[in-house]
């Protein structure tokens, strides 16, 4: 029987795949930063509604907070925005495949940050699982790009590689900050803790990006608000996905959650196979086998 955090992570992965598809649709009419803002701005109302329902159901007050809780929340908001921004910059790079491959170091970085910031200890079997899944995703990332081992080694100092590492660092540290914030809320149920962190972090992200647009690009604000209908769908799936991610990372170490989340790549390939009738190449099958092998090791022995 799989642990609860695994099922929650799988739910979050499915929501993320759907959200990515909806966001891709918005890129035709919005600037990249506008699409990023949609995730936070339109996800916030659903996050507030979710947390409000939790408070009503459990008939409880807001959890007590600490100074460190607010520091962790702000750190999570800033690093998640930063990771997304680096990823957007990466899209325009010539050596895109190498850069994307380096974003997959996120799982290793999450392991280091988890140990340093919140004391999460990974077992030897956990390290094996993390290594297998990370290599598997790197192999899968070769699809459609000029990628090989030589490019990966020689390109480590390139702008694309540095952006990829920075993006992975942003997402990894954001995840650990979020887990740290939830752990600061004491012994309340994991749903309440995760829901409260969700609302605070989404609020910070929405406000910080609003300040950016007021400063740099006020025209895009009107463009985002004008397309509120499709943006609501992005916000809804984003909020559901964030509920899953935040809840899973409240229950379990970020490195383990990130390992299971690599299934997103496999889901995407399967969707391409089923809907678009695209056939998987040999390296993709090998990569999927490594990812699945890593997850099996994690769930059975870590």
Identify the domain containing residue 113 by its residue range. Answer: 4-301
The predicted pLDDT at position 142 comes to: 59
3-state secondary structure of 141: coil
Q: What's this model's pTM, rounded to 2 decimal places? A: 0.85
The predicted pLDDT at position 52 comes to: 93
Structure tokens at 78: 């800033």
Q: Do 302 and 252 touch, CB atoms closer than 8 A?
A: no
- Among left, alpha and beta (phi > 0; psi -120 to 50; other), residue 75 is alpha
For the chain, how many residues are written? 302
Count of domains in the chain? 1
Q: How many CB atoms lie within 10 A of CB 70?
A: 14
Q: Do 19 and 237 touch, CB atoms closer than 8 A?
A: yes
The predicted pLDDT at position 1 comes to: 61
How does DSSP classify residue 276?
A: S
Q: How many CB atoms lie within 10 A of CB 102?
A: 25
Q: State CA 197 to chain mean position distance.
A: 15
The predicted pLDDT at position 302 comes to: 63
Q: Do 299 and 126 touch, CB atoms closer than 8 A?
A: no
Q: Do 54 and 243 touch, CB atoms closer than 8 A?
A: no
Residue bearing tokens 């090989």:
148
Spatial CA neighbour of 238 closest among 23, 33, 6, 7: 23
Q: Do 262 and 10 touch, CB atoms closer than 8 A?
A: no
The predicted pLDDT at position 130 comes to: 83
Q: Do 209 and 41 touch, CB atoms closer than 8 A?
A: yes
Name every residue whose Cβ is closer than 8 Å to that of residue 24 and which is 6 or more positions away in sequence. none
Give 10-residue mean pLDDT values along the chain (302 residues): 86 85 79 88 95 88 91 95 81 59 77 85 84 76 56 62 84 93 86 94 96 92 91 92 93 88 73 63 73 78 69
Residue bearing tokens 């000029």:
146
The predicted pLDDT at position 268 comes to: 67
The alpha-carbon radius of gyration of the chain (Å, integer) is: 19
**227-258 b/e with 16+ CB inside 10 Å = b?**
beebbebbbbbbbbbbbbbbbbbbbbbbbbbb
**141-155 b/e with 16+ CB inside 10 Å = b?**
bbbeeebeeebbeeb
Report how far residue 230's alpha carbon sits from residue 22's, in angstroms, rounded to the nearest whole number. 8
The predicted pLDDT at position 291 comes to: 77
């Amino acid at each position: 029987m799989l642990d609860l955090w695994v099922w929650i992570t799988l739910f979050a992965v499915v929501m993320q795949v759907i959200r990515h598809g909806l966001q891709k649709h918005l890129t035709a009419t919005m600037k990249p930063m506008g699409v990023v803002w949609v995730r936070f701005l339109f996800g916030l109302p659903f996050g507030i509604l979710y947390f409000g329902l939790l408070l009503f159901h459990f008939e409880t007050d807001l959890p007590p907070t600490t100074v460190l809780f607010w520091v962790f929340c702000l750190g999570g908001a800033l690093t998640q925005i930063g990771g997304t921004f680096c990823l957007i910059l990466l899209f325009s790079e010539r050596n895109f495949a190498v850069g994307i491959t380096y974003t997959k170091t996120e799982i290793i970085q999450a392991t280091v940050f988890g140990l340093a910031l919140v004391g999460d200890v990974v077992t030897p079997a956990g390290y094996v699982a993390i290594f297998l899944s990370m290599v598997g995703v790197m192999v899968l990332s070769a699809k459609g790009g000029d990628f090989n081992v030589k490019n990966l080694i020689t390109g480590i100092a390139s702008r694309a590689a540095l952006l990829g590492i920075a993006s992975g660092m942003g997402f990894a540290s954001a995840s650990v900050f979020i887990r740290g914030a939830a752990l600061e809320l004491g012994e309340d149920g994991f749903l309440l803790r995760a829901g409260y962190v969700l609302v605070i972090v989404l609020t910070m992200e929405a406000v910080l990006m609003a300040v950016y647009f007021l400063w740099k690009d006020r025209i895009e604000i009107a463009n985002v608000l004008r397309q509120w209908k499709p943006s609501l769908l992005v916000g809804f799936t984003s909020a559901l996905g964030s509920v899953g991610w935040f809840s899973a990372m409240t229950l379990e170490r970020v490195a383990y959650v990130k390992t299971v989340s690599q299934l997103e790549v496999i889901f995407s390939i399967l969707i391409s196979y089923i809907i678009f009738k695209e056939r998987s190449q040999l390296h993709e099958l090998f990569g999927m086998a490594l990812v699945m092998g890593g997850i099996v090791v994690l769930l059975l022995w870590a």
